[in-house]
């Protein structure tokens, strides 16, 4: 028996003796109370037996916090005159979580005031009994999912017949031990079965008292099952102290375990769900009940084993890590005593000394002093302190920099010229400047870092030029973009006091490249931001100043760094966006863009070749004509750069690749199908020279006439005739005019053709779509009041027309209305042009009152494009005079220049871009200010070719040229 297993004496107390009040902790351990709360309803033990004979037994008090008088009053079981079996009509109490077993003690909460009052009244009438019935789950709900708060809420809402239908039929007759507020403490006595409902509010039911079925105590099967339950409980007791507390308490207050008691005990304290417990409660056959309980305690045993294994695994893991840590510490101490190994700090110090030792002779003295001080400081710091990690990182950066280490530069001008020409076409200004830099370095024996700024529209190759320069000079290359940069710390580093502090970009660059004379490309320098963390443009002043960067000071390193040997190359789209102090430290090299001829060379020699290789297409498989490239440049890719041109060429070759693959798959499928139908008919025609007219490589796209065995040039196509039922020629003799005989049953000859893909102007639209650009030139001969001007944009140069028309004419109605999204400067230019035109007209035709009596409208198309700038003054003046004189300007004439009130022509910018725009529009005659003659003379000969350029100082020269005056001999050319 369990009583003997536990070695605890159990005494049956007399029925009439009420035990003295003891706190709950005497009977139940804290773990026991926790277990009861986790299972949804706490089960305690009373001294009443399962058959109702000991109804007035002792009760374990739950509410230990109540005062002594109240506790004494509530702990005693109220004496009753009728016996429990006399109660055939009882109040029905729903139990949401677990059924109440006979001999056990359970507190429940009653929220219904009427039911609570009825219970109180029953207790006061010396009839403290009610029926406790388990509540059924809602239809469609999962009983394994715990939703305690929702279940309680549903119990409180159920009333009357709805509640009656939700109750299990078998329950327990429970004695009302005490009532504390809405808490009612029940003691289970015997099993009940609901017969019928008596009343609805509160729910009262008529019940039948159930007794266990008769059984033979000496039956071997029942006895064996009983002993197996005890054996299983004994195993569980070895692993779980909770069960040990349960057994001790039960045997002390209930007595020895009988067969029915043991079955109820095992089911009540097991971790089974409520439906399994209800099944045990409903079972009246003691043997079956023992079997059900045995199954539950066996499951509990398995759970205990799993719990024990989990606890053991965690304990072993923790103890293993602790043991390993202790052994490692002991090993370190032993090695330290024997001198076999140094500690972490000594190893770190040794690593830093080894790193700086090869550079000690080249390293500046002030840097060596800082490194030695930091190494001494590192030895004195604890490895767990935050200062230790800061010092370690600082030394890591200091010793990793290439102090005094320079790469061997190549001063071979011829090799540099070859590399630059290999990578880029044109760009003579940039190449000459780099060659000059190399020549100076060769004469001096050393090269001094310079700051070169490459300015120009997008796609002209500014960034790739920097990489080519580094290759030509044999320098390491490092690029970083400052577009949108708003934090000064990205340039000059953070202070070491901050968490996660790092040096600036230049220190990171030197560490990455490993030399002190790299080429650093600072991209998008005209797009610097300015945020709350300072002004990065001002921080770049020290970095890019040749007089200051020999002692550049990074906030993190806090030691001067020599950057004078670094070659800085900056790129910008618009020079005007660069702050003047920063621009003053740079040498600007302008890249205006490429004219059509240059784009043709670049597309043919660079872009097409690289794209074809990237797509895996052989040169003999495709041909792109010059007319197609020219149409692509003029109608799709008119911008100054070639990036968009490269995208369009890649688009063309991708479509060609798809076309070739599809044709190859079609022919392979046709050959396979013909061979499967009649393999002997796979005939190969042979020409007179004995060569195969159709070869496998030709099927894959080759169209070389020589490889095709002498076929005609007009037929770049390969024909493969596959008759369905043609008999093969026995001797394979060739006949040029051989005609296959076909009968009515023969199938139609299938002809598959593969062409050498030809991209011409006619089929260009199939590959790149409709043209994006159309001719900028709207008029062959500009009408009266319309003059072509030249403009500069960030994408290069362009031509635009300035149109003036007469709106209204009348005495004293002279006025000027302006449209075209013009900026403030351009609006002022229109007023100046109007005044100058009136003065010129008064001089040329004193009796012409056109401007005084005419309301004019001046427009600059396209109206959706914003425009501003002063260089359209002379064009506007000419447009106004053309309308006043009713004479169109000279054909193929374009002009640019700023005009003053006295008629003087001031210089303008963007000469190369405007010249390229004029050539694109097929303009023959251009008018520039005289001050721009030097800019025009510096242009490449192919840009100036075929242009009649006039340089003027005064507007009267433009007047004579535009309106064909015979006295135009004084205009400079």
Task: Give the span between the Cα atoms of 868 and 749, in whole angstroms.
Answer: 68
Task: Give the span between the Cα atoms of 60 and 24, in whole angstroms.
Answer: 7
Examine the domain organization and report whether 163 and 293 are in the same domain. yes
Highest mean pLDDT among 137-141, 516-520, 689-693: 516-520
Domain end, chosen from 774, 807, 837, is at 774
Mean pLDDT of the 318-324 span: 85
Using an 8 Å Cβ cutoff, are 506 and 489 in contact? no
For residues 748-776, one letter each, b for 16 or more C-beta atoms within 10 angstroms of the residue's C-beta and e for the rest, the string is: eeeebebeebebeeeebeebbeeeeeeee
Domain end, chosen from 284, 304, 324, is at 304
> What's the domain range around 606?
594-664+754-774
Domain end, chosen from 572, 590, 608, is at 590
Q: Please report the pLDDT score of residue 145 as a whole number.
A: 59
Examine the domain organization and report whether 460 and 539 are in the same domain. yes
Strands 854-859 vs 815-819: parallel, antiparallel or unpaired:
parallel
Instruction: Kindly indicate the confidence band of residue 19, based on its pLDDT and cuts at 50, 70 and 90.
Output: very low
Task: Give the span between the Cα atoms of 102 and 111, in whole angstroms.
Answer: 24
CATH of the domain at 527: 3.40.50.300
Q: Where are the alpha helices (DSSP H) in 519-584?
A: 536-544, 580-583
Q: Please report the pLDDT score of residue 685 as a whole number.
A: 43
Examine the domain organization and report whether 393 and 517 are in the same domain. no
Give the model confidence (pLDDT) of 589-601 as tens digits: 888 778 778 888 8
Q: Under DSSP, is residue 567 helix (H, G, I), strand (E, B) or coil?
A: strand
Q: What percent of the chain has pLDDT over 90?
A: 9
Examine the domain organization and report whether 572 and 655 are in the same domain. no
Task: Give the span between the Cα atoms of 78 and 84, in whole angstroms.
Answer: 13
Tell me which of 135 and 777 has the higher pLDDT: 135
Q: Which long-range contacts (CB under 8 A, 24 or more apart) does 542-545 make?
A: 542/492, 543/491, 543/506, 543/568, 544/451, 544/568, 544/570, 544/582, 544/585, 544/586, 545/585
Mean pLDDT of the 442-449 span: 76
C-alpha distance from residue 63 to each of 21, 108, 538, 615, 635 (Å): 11, 13, 77, 86, 94
C-alpha distance from residue 526 to each of 98, 445, 549, 642 (Å): 77, 34, 21, 21
Task: Give the span between the Cα atoms of 959 and 875, in whole angstroms.
Answer: 11
Residue 69 forms part of a structural domain: no
- Per-residue tokens: 474: 């044999």
Examine the domain organization and report whether 565 and 651 are in the same domain. no
Q: Under DSSP, is residue 751 helix (H, G, I), strand (E, B) or coil?
A: strand
Question: Binding site: what residues are annotated?
Answer: 456-463
Q: Please report the pLDDT score of residue 856 as a whole number.
A: 92
Mean pLDDT of the 27-47 span: 38
Q: Please report the pLDDT score of residue 323 as a whole number.
A: 85
For residues 99-132, one letter each, b for 16 or more C-beta atoms within 10 angstroms of the residue's C-beta and e for the rest, the string is: bbbbbbbbbbebebeebbebbeebbeeebbbbbb
Task: Give the span between the Cα atoms of 328 and 335, in whole angstroms.
Answer: 10
Examine the domain organization and report whether 356 and 226 are in the same domain. no
Examine the domain organization and report whether 433 and 552 are in the same domain. yes
Is residue 9's pLDDT more than 90?
A: no
C-alpha distance from residue 552 to each of 106, 399, 478 (Å): 82, 17, 18
Instruction: Kindly indicate the confidence band of residue 30, based on its pLDDT and cuts at 50, 70 and 90.
Output: very low
Q: Please report the pLDDT score of residue 594 as a whole number.
A: 81
Residue 669 forms part of a structural domain: no
* Distance, CA of 416 to chain centre: 42
Task: Give the span between the Cα atoms of 312 and 357, in whole angstroms.
Answer: 53
Instruction: Kindly indicate the confidence band of residue 874, based on its pLDDT and cuts at 50, 70 and 90.
Output: very high
Instruction: Kindly indicate the confidence band of residue 927, based on its pLDDT and cuts at 50, 70 and 90.
Output: very high
Instruction: Kindly indicate the confidence band of residue 229, based on its pLDDT and cuts at 50, 70 and 90.
Output: confident
Instruction: Kindly indicate the confidence band of residue 255, based on its pLDDT and cuts at 50, 70 and 90.
Output: low
Examine the domain organization and report whether 433 and 393 are in the same domain. no
Q: Please report the pLDDT score of residue 576 as a whole number.
A: 86
Which residues are the active-site residues? 871, 914
Q: Please report the pLDDT score of residue 575 as a whole number.
A: 87
Residue 368 forms part of a structural domain: yes
Residue 720 forms part of a structural domain: no
Strands (E), 564-625: 567-572, 587-590, 622-624
Highest mean pLDDT among 107-121, 314-328, 830-844: 830-844
Q: Please report the pLDDT score of residue 249 as a whole number.
A: 67
Highest mean pLDDT among 67-71, 251-255, 323-327, 725-729: 323-327
Q: Please report the pLDDT score of residue 266 as a whole number.
A: 75
CATH of the domain at 828: 3.30.230.10
Question: Binding site for ATP: what residues are annotated?
Answer: 456-463
Examine the domain organization and report whether 276 and 373 are in the same domain. no
Look over the chain and give the mean of its residue pLDDT values, rounded to a whole number: 76
CATH of the domain at 615: 1.10.8.60
Examine the domain organization and report whether 512 and 557 are in the same domain. yes
Tell me which of 26 and 251 has the higher pLDDT: 251
Residue 279 forms part of a structural domain: yes
| Residue whose structure tokens are 């840097």 | 367
Mean pLDDT of the 907-927 span: 86
Instruction: Kindly indicate the confidence band of residue 440, based on its pLDDT and cuts at 50, 70 and 90.
Output: confident
Q: Please report the pLDDT score of residue 683 as a whole number.
A: 42
Is residue 74's pLDDT more than 60?
A: no
Is residue 421's pLDDT more than 80?
A: yes
Residue 175 forms part of a structural domain: yes
Instruction: Kindly indicate the confidence band of residue 40, based on its pLDDT and cuts at 50, 70 and 90.
Output: very low
Residue among 570, 644, 634 at smallest CA distance from 607: 644
Q: What percent of the chain has pLDDT over 70?
A: 76
Examine the domain organization and report whether 853 and 936 are in the same domain. yes
Is residue 15's pLDDT more than 50?
A: no
Residue 739 forms part of a structural domain: no
Is residue 492's pLDDT more than 90?
A: no
Task: Give the span between the Cα atoms of 749 and 633, in whole angstroms.
Answer: 44
CATH of the domain at 250: 2.30.130.40
Mean pLDDT of the 335-350 span: 72
Q: Where are the alpha helices (DSSP H) in 455-572?
A: 462-473, 489-492, 505-513, 536-544
Q: Please report the pLDDT score of residue 776 as a whole number.
A: 63
Examine the domain organization and report whether 862 and 809 are in the same domain. yes
Residue 928 forms part of a structural domain: yes
Is residue 919's pLDDT more than 90?
A: no
- Per-residue tokens: 857: 């409208």
**Sequence-distant (≥ 6) Cβ neighbours of residue 634 within 8 angstroms:** 596, 773, 920
Give the model confidence (pLDDT) of 43-65 as tens digits: 444 433 344 333 333 333 322 33
The region of weakest confidence among 125-129, 891-895, 948-952 is: 125-129
The 3-state secondary structure of 419-470, one letter per residue: HHHHHCCCCHHHHHHHHHHHHHHHHHCCCCCCEEEEECCCCCCHHHHHHHHH
Give the model confidence (pLDDT) of 619-675 as tens digits: 888 889 999 998 898 888 878 788 889 999 999 999 999 988 888 877 777 777 766
The region of weakest confidence among 149-163, 210-224, 839-853 is: 149-163
Is residue 357's pLDDT more than 80?
A: yes
The number of domains in the chain is: 5
- Per-residue tokens: 958: 């433009």
Instruction: Kindly indicate the confidence band of residue 27, based on its pLDDT and cuts at 50, 70 and 90.
Output: very low
């Amino acid at each position: 028996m369990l009583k003997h297993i536990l070695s605890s004496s159990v005494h049956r107390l007399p029925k009439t003796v009420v035990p003295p009040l003891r706190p709950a902790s005497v009977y139940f351990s804290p773990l026991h109370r926790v277990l009861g709360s986790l299972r949804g309803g706490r089960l305690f033990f009373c001294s009443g037996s399962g058959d109702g004979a000991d109804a007035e037994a002792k009760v374990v008090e739950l509410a230990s916090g109540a005062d002594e008088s109240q506790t004494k009053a509530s702990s005693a079981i109220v004496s009753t005159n009728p016996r429990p079996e006399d109660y055939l009509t009882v109040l029905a109490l729903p139990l949401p979580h677990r059924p109440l077993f006979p001999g056990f003690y359970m507190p429940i909460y009653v929220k219904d005031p009427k039911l609570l009052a009825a219970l109180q009244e029953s207790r006061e009438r010396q009839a403290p009994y009610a029926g406790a019935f388990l509540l059924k789950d809602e239809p469609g709900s999962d009983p394994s999912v715990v939703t305690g708060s929702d279940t309680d809420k549903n119990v409180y809402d159920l009333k009357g017949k709805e509640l009656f239908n939700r109750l299990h039929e078998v329950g327990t007759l429970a004695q009302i031990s005490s009532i504390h507020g809405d808490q009612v403490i029940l003691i289970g006595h015997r099993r009940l079965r609901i017969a019928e409902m008596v009343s609805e509010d509160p729910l009262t039911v008529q019940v039948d008292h159930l007794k266990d079925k008769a059984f033979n105590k000496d039956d071997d099967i029942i006895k064996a099952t009983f002993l197996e339950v005890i054996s299983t409980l004994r195993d569980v007791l070895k692993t779980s102290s909770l069960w040990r507390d349960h057994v001790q308490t039960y045997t002390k207050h209930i007595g020895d375990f009988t067969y029915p008691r043991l079955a109820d005990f095992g089911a009540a304290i097991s971790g089974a769900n409520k439906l399994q417990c209800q099944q045990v409660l409903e079972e009246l056959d003691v043997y079956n009940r023992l079997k059900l309980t045995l199954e539950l305690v066996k499951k509990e045993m398995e759970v205990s084993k799993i719990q024990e294994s989990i606890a053991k695994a965690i304990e072993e893991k923790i103890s293993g890590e602790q043991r390993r840590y202790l052994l490692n510490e002991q090993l370190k101490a032993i090695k330290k005593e024997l001198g076999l190994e140094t500690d972490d700090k000594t190893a770190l110090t040794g690593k830093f000394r080894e790193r700086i030792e090869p550079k000690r002779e080249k390293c500046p003295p002030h840097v060596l002093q800082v490194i030695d001080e930091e190494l001494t400081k590192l030895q004195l710091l604890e490895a767990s302190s935050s200062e230790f990690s800061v010092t370690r990182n600082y030394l890591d950066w200091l010793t990793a920099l290439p102090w005094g280490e320079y790469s061997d530069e190549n001063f071979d001008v011829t090799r540099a010229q070859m590399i630059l020409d290999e990578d880029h076409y044109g760009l003579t200004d940039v190449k000459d400047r780099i060659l000059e830099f190399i020549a100076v370095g060769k004469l001096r024996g050393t090269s001094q870092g310079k700051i070169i700024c490459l300015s120009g529209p997008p796609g002209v190759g500014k960034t790739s030029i920097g990489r080519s320069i580094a290759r030509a000079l044999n320098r390491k290359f490092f690029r970083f973009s400052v577009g949108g940069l708003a934090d000064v710390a990205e340039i000059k580093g953070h202070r070491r006091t901050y968490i996660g502090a790092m040096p600036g970009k230049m220190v990171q660059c030197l560490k990455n490249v490993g030399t002190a004379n790299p080429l650093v490309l600072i991209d998008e320098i005209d797009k610097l931001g300015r945020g709350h963390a300072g002004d990065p443009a001002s921080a770049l002043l020290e970095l890019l100043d040749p007089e200051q960067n020999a002692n550049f000071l990074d906030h993190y390193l806090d030691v001067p760094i020599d950057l004078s040997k670094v070659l800085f190359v900056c790129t910008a789209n618009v020079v005007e966006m660069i702050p003047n102090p920063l621009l003053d430290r740079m040498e600007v090299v302008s890249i205006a863009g490429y004219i059509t001829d240059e784009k043709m060379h670049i597309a043919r020699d660079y872009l097409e070749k690289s794209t074809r290789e990237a797509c895996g297409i052989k040169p003999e498989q495709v041909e792109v004509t010059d007319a197609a490239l020219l149409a692509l440049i003029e109608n799709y890719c008119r911008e100054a750069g070639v990036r968009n041109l490269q995208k369009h060429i890649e688009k063309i070759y991708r479509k060609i690749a798809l076309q070739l693959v599809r044709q190859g798959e079609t022919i392979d499928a046709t050959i396979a199908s013909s061979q499967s139908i009649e393999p002997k008919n796979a005939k190969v025609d042979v020409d007179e020279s004995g060569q195969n007219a159709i070869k496998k490589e030709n099927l894959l796209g080759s169209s070389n006439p020589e490889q095709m065995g002498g076929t005609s040039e007009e037929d770049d196509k390969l024909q493969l005739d596959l008759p369905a039922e043609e008999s093969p020629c026995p001797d394979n003799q060739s006949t040029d005019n051989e005609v296959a005989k076909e009968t009515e049953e023969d199938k139609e000859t299938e002809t598959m053709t593969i062409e050498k893909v030809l991209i011409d102007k006619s089929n260009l639209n199939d590959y790149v779509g409709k043209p994006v650009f159309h001719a900028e030139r709207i008029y062959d001969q500009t009408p009266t009041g319309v003059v072509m001007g030249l403009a500069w944009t960030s994408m290069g140069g362009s031509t635009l027309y300035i149109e003036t028309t007469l709106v209204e004419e009348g005495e004293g109605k002279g006025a000027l209305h302006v449209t075209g999204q013009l900026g403030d400067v351009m609006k002022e230019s229109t007023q100046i042009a109007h005044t100058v035109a009136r003065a010129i007209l008064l001089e040329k035709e004193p009796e012409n009152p056109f401007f005084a009596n005419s309301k004019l409208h001046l427009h600059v198309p396209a109206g959706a494009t914003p425009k501003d700038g002063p260089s359209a003054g002379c064009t506007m003046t000419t447009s106004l005079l053309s309308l006043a004189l009713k004479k169109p300007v000279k054909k193929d004439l374009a002009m640019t220049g700023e005009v003053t009130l006295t008629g003087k022509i001031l210089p303008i910018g963007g000469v190369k871009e405007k010249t390229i725009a004029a050539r694109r529009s097929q303009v023959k005659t251009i008018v520039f200010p005289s001050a721009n003659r030097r800019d025009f003379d510096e242009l490449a000969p192919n840009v100036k070719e075929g242009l009649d350029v006039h340089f003027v100082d005064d507007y009267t020269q433009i007047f004579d040229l535009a309106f064909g005056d015979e006295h135009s001999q004084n205009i400079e050319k």
